[in-house]
Amino acid sequence: MRLLAHPLALYILVLGLGAIIGSFLSMLVYRLPIMLRRSWEEDCQALTARRETDRPRGVFNLALPPSHCPQCQTRLGWLENIPLIGFVALRGRCRHCRAPIPPRYFLIELVTTVAAALSLARFGAAPAAILAFTASACLIALTFIDWKEQLLPDVLTLPLLWLGLLVNIGGRFASLEAAVIGAASGYLSLWLIYHAFRLLTGKEGMGYGDFKLFAAAGAWVGWQLLPLLLLLASLAGAVVGLTLIALKRQGRSAPMPFGPYLAGAFWLALFYGHPLLATYLHLAHGR
Ligand SMILES: [Zn+2]
């Protein structure tokens, strides 16, 4: 443990752990939506009392089958299982069938590694850093799942909400009072915006997952930061959306997930909320 007292050793350890957890998250982002879809299909079949079709459905969860190429099913070797390095060593292609590996895998591992280092830098070698990194990991998984599938699974948003309330019992990131009001008002405010928007335009601009994610944000950072958080998420979403339309990468009416922007603003508020709020108020008052 003497070695860990050295800041450099601590950072190396945290970067390594971040990369390993990032590798787990990239697997989660791929597998969780498939697991959920299978379970919904089974529920539908049970409801309509239809027999299970005879197509083979092997065990598929977060642990099994072992990591493999989704194209040719070849199992990954030890080198390819190393986060970040595996992708670079393979130059982004399967060793066996040369099918391209989505850059998402590398991106998730990289972002998670950076989040681990920033948690240590911002909160020090303290429980707050582990909690902030736990929230970061959850937000990274939600961002990529929503981006890929337009889905914010309850199995991630709801535990994030409960955890936010629990960690704030001692007032770690916000007072418990601000956290409870934040959770309730976060959900309610987006619910109201959603229904007002639907009444006015007949379109659905968000999903219920967004309300739960915003409620989780309120539970972690307290209600005071929610208006600024929503402003940042909307601005970022509008800038990216308009850029994609301008570049003709996306149609005007194509669905665009809001979760990634909410998650990004949530992360900023958790890590740098108070300096951000101070800057915002300073600018707003023109002083
Ligand atoms: Zn392959």
Q: 97 and 205 share a domain?
A: no
Number of domains in the chain: 2
Domain holding 18, by residue range, is 1-40+62-125
Q: How far is the CA of 81 from the centre of ligand 1 (A)?
A: 14
Q: 256 and 168 share a domain?
A: yes
Q: How far is the CA of 106 from the centre of ligand 1 (A)?
A: 17
Quote the pLDDT of residue 233: 96
At 135-183, the pLDDT tens digits run 999 999 999 999 999 999 999 999 999 999 999 999 999 999 999 999 9
Task: Name the domain boundary from 108, 125, 142.
Answer: 125
Q: 175 and 102 share a domain?
A: no
State the chain's mean pLDDT as an integer. 90
- For the chain, what percent of residues have pLDDT higher than 90? 60
At 231-260, the pLDDT tens digits run 999 999 999 988 888 887 776 666 789 999
Between 145-149, 262-266, 277-281, the lowest mean confidence (pLDDT) is in: 277-281
Q: Is residue 147 part of a domain?
A: no
Q: Using an 8 Å Cβ cutoff, are 227 and 113 in contact?
A: no
| Distance in angstroms (rounded) separating the CA atoms of residues 169 and 157 | 19
Q: How far is the CA of 4 from the centre of ligand 1 (A)?
A: 40
Quote the pLDDT of residue 55: 54
Would you call the peptide bond into 70 cis, given omega within 30 degrees of 0 as the criterion? no
Q: How far is the CA of 32 from the centre of ligand 1 (A)?
A: 21
At 78-96, the pLDDT tens digits run 888 888 888 888 888 988 8
Quote the pLDDT of residue 3: 58
Q: 113 and 14 share a domain?
A: yes
Q: 3 and 102 share a domain?
A: yes
Q: What confidence category does residue 56 fall into, taking pLDDT thresholds of 50, 70 and 90?
A: low
Quote the pLDDT of residue 66: 86
Q: How far is the CA of 77 from the centre of ligand 1 (A)?
A: 12
Q: 114 and 157 share a domain?
A: no
Q: How far is the CA of 18 from the centre of ligand 1 (A)?
A: 26
Q: Is residue 52 part of a domain?
A: no
**Residue 37: which of 199, 190, 151 has the closest Cα?**
151
Q: 161 and 121 share a domain?
A: no
Quote the pLDDT of residue 34: 93
Q: Using an 8 Å Cβ cutoff, are 211 and 190 in contact?
A: yes
Burial of 178 (0-12, 13-18, 19+ CB in 10 A): buried
Q: How far is the CA of 213 from the centre of ligand 1 (A)?
A: 35
Quote the pLDDT of residue 159: 98
Q: 160 and 69 share a domain?
A: no
Q: How far is the CA of 68 from the centre of ligand 1 (A)?
A: 8
Q: 282 and 243 share a domain?
A: yes
Quote the pLDDT of residue 247: 85
Task: Name the domain boundary from 106, 125, 144.
Answer: 125
Quote the pLDDT of residue 89: 87
Q: What confidence category does residue 4 fall into, taking pLDDT thresholds of 50, 70 and 90?
A: low
| Distance in angstroms (rounded) separating the CA atoms of residues 221 and 269 | 7
Phi, psi of 100 (to 5 degrees): -65, 140
| Distance in angstroms (rounded) separating the CA atoms of residues 13 and 10 | 5
Task: Name the domain boundary from 86, 108, 125.
Answer: 125
Q: Is residue 32 part of a domain?
A: yes
Q: 99 and 185 share a domain?
A: no
The pLDDT of residue 210 is above 60: yes
The pLDDT of residue 226 is above 80: yes
Q: What confidence category does residue 134 fall into, taking pLDDT thresholds of 50, 70 and 90?
A: very high
Q: 119 and 8 share a domain?
A: yes
Q: How far is the CA of 104 from the centre of ligand 1 (A)?
A: 16
Q: Is residue 159 part of a domain?
A: yes
| Distance in angstroms (rounded) separating the CA atoms of residues 255 and 246 | 16
Higher pLDDT among residues 55 and 126, named by residue = 126
The average pLDDT across 90-119 equals: 92
Quote the pLDDT of residue 72: 87
Q: 159 and 240 share a domain?
A: yes
Q: What confidence category does residue 201 fall into, taking pLDDT thresholds of 50, 70 and 90?
A: confident
Q: How far is the CA of 70 from the centre of ligand 1 (A)?
A: 7
Q: Is residue 283 part of a domain?
A: yes
